[in-house]
Structure 1
């Protein structure tokens, strides 16, 4: 979600960097990523000669038919992703966009509250759509008995949707079938995180199985895997492994969400008006007191006093030096209610600028200071990397 400063032309520029906008279907933006042209070129280069050999009458037209094959694959993937998006829309899950790319495509959702059952239904809608397309195409072929190029393309469309449907129900993330594993473990254990981790490991097992079947088995039998098959296997397995690993990492992070609480993680802080002087701050912080957050006349937190800059002010100038002179400005809206926690808190912080956030109570009074580094440490279990660039040290 964009803040006011990032509206206007920025979303359009971001879409253009990501790919070619194809418009909206069912209210969901569809983007054709530039990487799709890579798989389209590969399809033409790999399948064109095969078509020309099997159908000499086609001549150079075989390459146009191969390109039509790439377009039919694109349509199949688009229908698959639309099924996800429109099913999710039934449950009030907002779909941010559909991206069609080198790996097929994906539907990106905005934040929503999932349940095991609904997660399965949204996931399975994609393969179900492909099975429906395959079934409808089979009926057309059976009824019309097409010939020539029409016969080639309808059969390709039928088998492409059948393969896409079967492949996507394999039980491991990032494939749709992984949602079945995730939801089953989630339902059994009550832990969404454990379900995601289990489904991620399922994805890794699928990668190993594919590598054994398409690469290791031909070698064991004394043959060599076909070059095109080997390349496709490497690309698909690489994509699946990255997706499965990302799912495992996401599950591990989710398992720590209950530890993220603004009230629990914030260090003590007090608020002073922007009109306060350095002397006022020193009186509050005498003896190692709490952090000091300055607030505007409307009570909105605006800046945080820097202890190092505060200590550098001569004692003789403390009474006449405004506290704002030693207080770096907070990012716009960088304050959170002390009752914020979990995913809600993380999503809100992700929209804010800066690294420090004032924590306020129900009355708008400053009660603490939440550091981004503290949240990162709790979520990842590791301290954040220190940035030692001089320009960052002087901020």
Structure 2
């Protein structure tokens, strides 16, 4: 599966990290990570198929479990080839690949920021299933050659069927499966709106889950038959994964449709910047003039702190002129300021890298013009009703 990422991270060399998985190195310059969750599916394969192989070929004995593990490795290789096909096809269109992750559910390819089109999206998506069908064809040629026997013949058969199933299953027309890109691109092409295409493909993905559950679970139960326990477990796991993936696709599309509302200038509350030497009296003077927020500059003349107006109001009038504003302010995170012209996905990507929940807004000259609250951005993105400034500020102070 492909997993587009709207991110501003650089594609330059990065050190590998064991966080979340084991780095396997790079293939064609693309980092490959084996998620720890893969070992769960490997164990499941050994536990379920080991006894089956031992029953079908008693000569294997305990080594049947080694053969079952070899099957999980072959499946891993098949998924890797599938994801490499995505990544290498995307490279033709200059879509930079961040990494390939192999995990419990198979795997996915993460891309950096790129410009897609309906046609390119379909070709990149279908490259994965096409690679699996090619592997299945290659394995079938080996089998028909008649030169394999014993364990090699067993593994070759499993390899052929596994790749055939992976290829066919992934072209089903619903997200998060690769075939969902066909639906997405068709609707995208017809309407000119990618988000509508993604939502449509997400819903067809949900319909596929319902159909799978009906076929493998509901129908056997209605006919009076007891479904196979392992098959039911696989159905539940795969169905749950597909449903979550389809739902996530729908939600992401809805967020993308609201990206135009994420605008630093439009969402920021008015603010003024004061030097670090400002006093509480200075702050109160501007607060009385109707300026909701006061931002203090640091020694480098960049936004460094936000005045807590409630704390400033509690300073006795006789001490206001002698109390530094910094005494009633909380610090901004490093780099927590954006330009008034920043908007959309680029703005979200930058904010995601910052700590804290308040961000100063500055003009081209570096002068503070507003204060952007994280809650305000989230409300704009999700479509939730904006809470009052006081409530947003209270939440901000509680987090800082």
The reply to whether TM is greater than 0.5 is yes
Corresponding residue SS for 2:175 = coil
Deviations 1:291-343 (A, max 9, x none): 21122354311111111111112212222222222221111111111111111
1:31 match: 33
Of 81-90 and 189-198, deviating more is: 81-90
Query: What's the offset of the Cα at 1:383?
Result: 5.5
Kindly indicate whether residue 135 of structure 2 is the aligned counterpart of residue 133 of structure 1. yes
Of 289-298 and 271-280, deviating more is: 289-298
In the TM superposition, 1:177-188 aligns within 5 A as 177-188=179-190
Unpaired stretches in structure 1, ≥5 consecutive residues: 4-8
TM-score with structure 1 length normalisation? 0.91
Aligned mate of 1:334, from 313, 333, 336:
336
2:373 match: 371
Unpaired stretches in structure 2, ≥5 consecutive residues: 1-6
1:393 match: 398
Of 179-188 and 278-287, deviating more is: 278-287
Paired with 1:141 and 1:229, the residues of 2 have a C-alpha distance of 27
Corresponding residue SS for 2:384 = coil
RMSD value over aligned CA atoms? Answer: 2.5
Paired with 1:384 and 1:60, the residues of 2 have a C-alpha distance of 63
Change (3 A) 1:390 1:280: closer
2:233 match: 231
Q: How many equivalent pairs are there?
A: 387
Paired with 1:53 and 1:168, the residues of 2 have a C-alpha distance of 31
2:207 match: 205
Kindly indicate whether residue 97 of structure 2 is the aligned counterpart of residue 95 of structure 1. yes
1:76 match: 78
Deviations 1:93-150 (A, max 9, x none): 2322222111111122233332222222221111111111112222222235422211
Corresponding residue SS for 1:63 = helix
TM-score with structure 2 length normalisation? 0.90
Corresponding residue SS for 1:313 = coil
Query: What's the offset of the Cα at 1:176?
Result: 0.8
Deviations 1:193-247 (A, max 9, x none): 2111111111100000101111122223332211111111111101111111111
Query: What's the offset of the Cα at 1:279?
Result: 1.9
1:6 match: none
Paired with 1:294 and 1:350, the residues of 2 have a C-alpha distance of 23
Query: What's the offset of the Cα at 1:380?
Result: 1.2
Deviations 1:268-300 (A, max 9, x none): 111121122222222222243242112235431
1:299 match: 301
Corresponding residue SS for 1:136 = helix
Kindly indicate whether residue 161 of structure 2 is the aligned counterpart of residue 159 of structure 1. yes
Change (3 A) 1:198 1:54: same
Corresponding residue SS for 2:100 = strand
Query: What's the offset of the Cα at 1:48?
Result: 1.7
Corresponding residue SS for 2:331 = coil
Query: What's the offset of the Cα at 1:347?
Result: 0.8
